[in-house]
Structure 1
Amino acid sequence: MAYIGKWVLGVACLSGLAGLPARGVTIDHSNFAAATSTAMSVMSKVGQLRWFFTHASVGANIVTGMNDLHGTDTNRYRLTIYSVGTAGGGANYRASTNPVSTSNGVIYECDRGNPGWANKLVCFSNSLVTSGWRFPKVNVAMDKFCWIDPDADSTNYCTLISQLEVRYPETLFIYLTMPLSGLSFDQNDERNSFNRYVRSFCAANSKHLFDVADLEAWNQAGVQQTYVSGGVTNQKMSFDYSEDTSSDWHLNATGRRRMALAWYSLAAALFAEDRDSDGSSDGDELLAGTEPANPDSTLEVHIAPQAFAGSGSNMVVSWVASTSRYYSIQRAVELAGSPVWSNRLADSLGANAFTDAVGAAPQHFYRLSARQ
């Protein structure tokens, strides 16, 4: 809140408390179902986010789970799916640029198949850099390996995502662990090694993690499925979530629902976590078009003049507008009880200032809000 004399202006997109230590959200077996009881006010915000997701067959299972969950309760689980095609090949492989315009509450998913783990990273990077699947087109981006990628280099994966985070700071990136097989061999050692590195990297660097492997490893009774190899305890997939018990490690209906709930729980958690401790949650910053990991990137409000001359005076409220954001200003005469807010500026695309005639009023209270 910015206080100037008796004029008070609140920024409606801000929430949370400044000064808390930075950390990332991790969604795993312990909290994947949180979205089932999350406040509807938060789930409404989740329904405003725009996502980009590159994947192959297990990712397609998760997308199916998202569709199915949406069908059970369209008010709580608001995200819908739009399938994006691919373009180019080799070093130019990427998601298509279409659609050019995007909408709130949509997951733009690209099934890029299995071209090899290195080319999967190339495809994801090109999709953002060349095809524009980043801010302001979407808010959140993520790429998922499959269980057939046990040789994927975890350092390369984390390095690429980190580089994209620096290049596109208004876009939020989600890190994912690699799915498992249900066997005590079948290159699960390599998958577990990859996953341990990604978890450690996310914990050390305040990154958001969708822990697919951990979700697969804990069965419905809450027992972790493990095996020991070389003195190291590794996770394996519970048969509760696999299509069969021998070779098909795609997700069955139970597994698909589990992953979909985890996705929503992760999305909801973004509106409770403020990694840059600027008083605005990561999720709210995405909706406002500011950078969720940069404390200097805020919806900063300025009021002029600093003093008022009574009747006939005007007050100018100004701010730095973000790309493709709509701004509204409301005014109330008091905050006690149930304040009555009147619209002064309604849903103005790209607005960065508003002038109000304040006259001789002893006080007014203003509220600025932003949406995409």
Structure 2
Amino acid sequence: MKINISILLGMYFCSCFAVNALTINHVQGNPSFFATITSQEVQNAKNKLYIAYGHTSHGSQLTTGMSGLVGFINGGGLGMSRPTNFFEWNHGGTGGALDLHDYAMGGDCGYYPQWVDNTISYLESSANSNCNVIIWSWCGQVSGKFAAGTISNEYLLPMASLETNYPTVTFVYMTGHLDHWSDDDLKAGNQMIRDFCTANNKVLYDFADIESYDPNGTYYEFANDNCDYYTASDGTLIGNWAVHYQTSHVENVDWYDCTSAHSEPLNANQKAYGAWALWTGIASIPEPCHLLFIIGNLIFVSRKKYKL
């Protein structure tokens, strides 16, 4: 009996290969959303993920926020009750923590081609063979790269190439931090990143969107990375939304103090909430599978894996 191998393989490939989109923005960076993340989802992330994070100062808001979150939840912050140190993280995942290698790769994704080279060096090292999540943050380069027309060639396309070359690794895209002094170019550059991620089913951590909203859901259209906000892109200073919230709410109940580079603690709080939504979201994506080649009565398994 003749078998049309091309049709058979095509049908199987389609059933095996799919890309899962995930966007983390101010919705997931809100404390009310964080409180809905279940213990089972957190444990699933701890069991599955081996994360490598490359960043400079602004990107540290995620991890310093995550560090402060441990004690905050230990003390019953947000009215939550979890086992002691349940949100702990470290390089190696020891003691039941999330395995997150902070500063795993030097620099940030604004330095091209260094960030690509550093990613490849990290993933090619046998010491990091279990890594299955790569995340890079920006510093202040998005606006400049948009103005120069290099976001695609120096960020989006290299990221997509890495995804192709390392199909068992989830690569997290990110927007750049707010910069009131380059408002138009920054917003346009960040939107370019969002549009690419939406069109191509990517995983996106929307750094800029998270710091554009306070926990009440109020949007600040002309905000800066330190949480100051203005009347317009060239307008006058109105105030600081994070300071307003912190002074009107109870510390260690509604928010917690932590290191937050260039900004207020509340900003890093929200980055940490979003980070845990990211980890649990990635962990819920189905495992990669091998592609089967069926020829007659023989079944061959490819050595390359494909994401479900």
Shared fold per TM-score greater than 0.5: yes
The question of whether the paired residues in 2 share the 8 Å contact of 1:50 and 1:106 is answered with: yes
- What TM-score, normalized by structure 2, do the two folds share? 0.64
CA drift at 1:131? 4.2
Of 241, 253, 257, 2:265 maps to 253
Per the TM alignment, residue 270 of structure 1 is displaced from its structure 2 partner at its CA by: 2.5
Equivalent residue number for residue 38 of structure 2: 39
Aligned residue among 98, 102, 105 for 2:98:
105
1:205/1:149 Cα in 2 relative to 1: closer, same or farther (>3 Å)? Answer: closer
Q: Which residue does the alignment assign to 2:229?
A: none
Question: Shift in Å at residue 119 of structure 1?
Answer: 4.9
Corresponding letter in the other structure for 1:143: W
After TM superposition, give the deviation of residue 211 of structure 1 in Å: 0.3
The answer to whether the 8 Å contact 1:47/1:77 transfers is no
In percent, how many aligned pairs have the same letter? 21
Question: Counterpart of 1:138?
Answer: 131
Cα distance in 1 between the residues matched to 2:126 and 2:157: 20
Question: What does 1:280-359 align with in structure 2 at a 5 Å threshold?
Answer: 282=285, 284-285=286-287, 290=288
2:130 aligned counterpart, secondary structure: coil
**Which structure is larger by alpha-carbon Rg, 1 or 2?**
1
Q: CA deviation at 1:128?
A: 3.3
Aligned ranges 1:1-372 → 2 under 5 Å: 23-33=20-30, 34-48=33-47, 49-71=49-71, 72-73=73-74, 75=83, 77-82=86-91, 105-110=98-103, 112-113=106-107, 117-122=111-116, 124-131=118-125, 136-147=129-140, 149-152=142-145, 153-155=150-152, 156-181=154-179, 183=180, 186-227=181-222, 239-241=240-242, 250-272=262-284, 282=285, 284-285=286-287, 290=288
Shift of 1:222: 1.9
Aligned residues: 238
Preserved contact between residue 65 and residue 259 of structure 1 (Cα < 8 Å)? yes
Q: Any idea what the Cα deviations from partners look like across 1:266-299, whole Å, max 9, x if unmatched?
A: 1222344xxxxxxxxx2x51xxxx35xxxx559x
Cα-Cα RMSD: 4.0
Structure-2 change in CA distance of 1:148 and 1:202 (3 Å): closer
CA distances 1:285-342 after superposition (whole Å, capped 9, x unpaired):
1xxxx35xxxx559xxxxxxxxxxxxxxxxxxxxx8x9xxxxxxxxxxxxxxxxxxxx
Q: 1:102 to 1:36 in 2, by over 3 A?
A: closer
Which sits farther off after the overlay, 37-46 or 252-261? 37-46
Q: Higher strand share goes to which structure? A: 1
User: Contact 1:165/1:172 (CA < 8 Å) preserved in 2?
Assistant: yes
> Which structure shows the bigger proportion of residues in helix conformation?
2
Say which structure, 1 or 2, has more relative contact order (CA 8 Å, 6+ apart). Answer: 2
Aligned 8 A contact 1:180 1:191 in 2:
yes
CA offsets 1:200-235 (integer angstroms, 9 cap, x no match) = 0110011011000000111333222224xxxxx98x
Unaligned runs of 5+ in 1: 1-17, 83-100, 228-232, 243-247, 273-281, 299-319, 323-372
* Cα distance, 1:133 vs structure 2: 7.8
TM-score between both structures, scaled by the size of structure 1:
0.54
